[in-house]
Amino acid sequence: MAPTALLSVSDKRDLVPLAEGLLARGFTLLSSGGTAAALAAAGLPVTKVADHTGAPEILGGRVKTLHPRIHGGILARRDDPAHRADLDAQGIAPIDVVVVNLYPFRTTVADPAVSWETAIENIDIGGPAMVRAAAKNHADVAVLTDPDQYPGFLAALAADGVDAGLRRRLALAAFAHTAAYDTAIAAWIDGRLSSDAASQAGAPADQALPLRLELPVRQVLRYGENPHQSARWYGEATAGWGAAHQLQGKELSYNNLIDLEAALTTVAEFGYGTTAEPAAVVIKHTNPCGVALGRNPADALLRALDADRVSAFGGIVALNGPVDRDAAEHLAGLFLECVVAPAFSPEARERLAGKANLRLLALDPAALAAVAGRQQLRSVLGGVLAQQADDRPIDPDSWQVVSERPPSEAEWRDLRFAWQVVRHVRSNAILVARDGRTLGVGAGQMNRVGSARLALEASGDGARGAALASDGFFPFDDTVLLAARHGITAVIQPGGSKRDPDSIAACNAHGLTMVVTGHRHFLH
């Protein structure tokens, strides 16, 4: 009896070459729906599942492969006489190869406007059943779930045959495939129900469901934070960075990826597109060391670099506008790891081409924001912490002036800019800014006044008349007193300390204005 291959695929890449290879090895092809039509259109002999089972497709195609002649042929153990007798009694032919990939559920629900009914209709039932059946019976059946598996499978078939080791590896991939599929469905339903509950009740729903993670290996990295640490990058190739195009430079490293995320989330504070004010960010070890607005991308970049050229060495640069020839001139003489921007002009590409190791990435922040999840994950003590991203919109209308003197118009601009940036600095965070540019940054210190000293010393004489932002409240008035001695005139902080009156009194005594936002932005 000729071996039988069952093909039923949503992704029809390389379907015809696979079918031709199977036919060349003496297989009979069995298929249904659009797959059968594609094979017939290519002039290949194929038997429709309905003809094979003697049962028509029903319920608009919902039921077509759920039949004993299909699942019996897949699940029958060839070394079990009882199974063999059942096949003979029912006239069921064994199925030796199952080629199935599933309805594109992820693609369907990627549209935020997708209806509940459309999403549910794109949940595959027969496909996962066949994949799991074939994977369970991998001792006798080979299961293919990805077109990338086809060439290796055909090569094995043409050589020494498909051995047990290959069938086991294919079974593992098949179970991973259905697990990821079910995870995507559960996650979407969970998210939709949570969103509905939040909109109805005015607060996020209490989610007691377990965290579901099923991420493919996207890239094996050269190493992790240090050369002796191995590392991998997990994630769907179509998510987030899937929209990026690396124009030149070395492969992205573990540290590059972490710093690039920090750079992009920071520059996204200032918007993107033709109506956004040009902004540039320089990141070093996940902290912004220079952030600035400008008349154009080149001007913003120059101002950001000038904020702290010592720290910019070996850093990551992100812009919310295209890199042109003038901006490239500011980059050409520096040692940087990466530059990410929505686009690079041909003149900029030519100017930077000589820096072969400099990674240039074209990625519009809007593209990243459109697919980035709002849930942040971090491994800890053998487990995982999950939280909602700190993406609360800045709302100056909700801020409160608590000092006797209100901010001037210029101080309001400085306070807003400083608050936009300080939320991206590691806690304890203090940031000094003026005229749309950071002057000094104090990050990650064990006490807040220590961060203030770093930020104020880096600012030098520029601190006079500048604004100071703190990501958390002031536990004492020492930071305000230090700021006053350096000439700071405006302070913004979350508020909420028992000693807020002390800090407010210190502002009043020295003529500073203080604004409290009501929201802290710790970043660990």
Contact between residue 497 and residue 519 where contact means Cβ atoms under 8 Å apart: no
- The type of residue at 325 is R
48 is a catalytic site residue: no
Element (H, E) at 75: helix 68-75
285 is a catalytic site residue: yes
Q: What is the DSSP letter of 367?
A: H
The residues, ordered by sequence, that sit 6+ positions from 513 with a Cβ below 8 Å of its Cβ are 401, 403, 405, 406, 407, 408, 411, 489, 490, 491, 507
- The type of residue at 31 is S
Contact between residue 150 and residue 170 where contact means Cβ atoms under 8 Å apart: no
* Residues paired with residue 441 on neighbouring β-strands, in sequence order: 431
Q: What is the 3 state secondary structure string of 163-209? A: CHHHHHHHHHHHHHHHHHHHHHHHHHHHHHHHHHHHHHHCCCCCCCC
Q: Please report, for residues 159, 251, 298, the alpha-carbon distance to residue 168 in angstroms, rounded to integers and kept in the order given.
A: 18, 32, 56
- The type of residue at 420 is Q
Q: What is the 3 state secondary structure string of 394-439? A: CCHHHCEECCCCCCCHHHHHHHHHHHHHHCCCCCCCEEEEECCEEE
Element (H, E) at 106: helix 105-109
CA 496/CA 150 separation, integer angstroms: 62
Contact between residue 243 and residue 363 where contact means Cβ atoms under 8 Å apart: yes
Query: Helix %, strand %, coil % for the chain, to 5?
Result: 45, 20, 35
CA 5/CA 26 separation, integer angstroms: 10
What phi, psi does 354 have (nearest 5°)?
-70, -15
12, 285, 510, 519: the active-site residue: 285
Q: What is the DSSP letter of 292?
A: E
12, 83, 136, 250: the active-site residue: 136
Pairing state between β 315-319 and 279-284? antiparallel
Token pair for 503: 């800090």
The radius of gyration computed from the CA coordinates of the chain, to the nearest angstrom, equals 30
Contact between residue 491 and residue 400 where contact means Cβ atoms under 8 Å apart: no
Catalytic residues: 136, 285
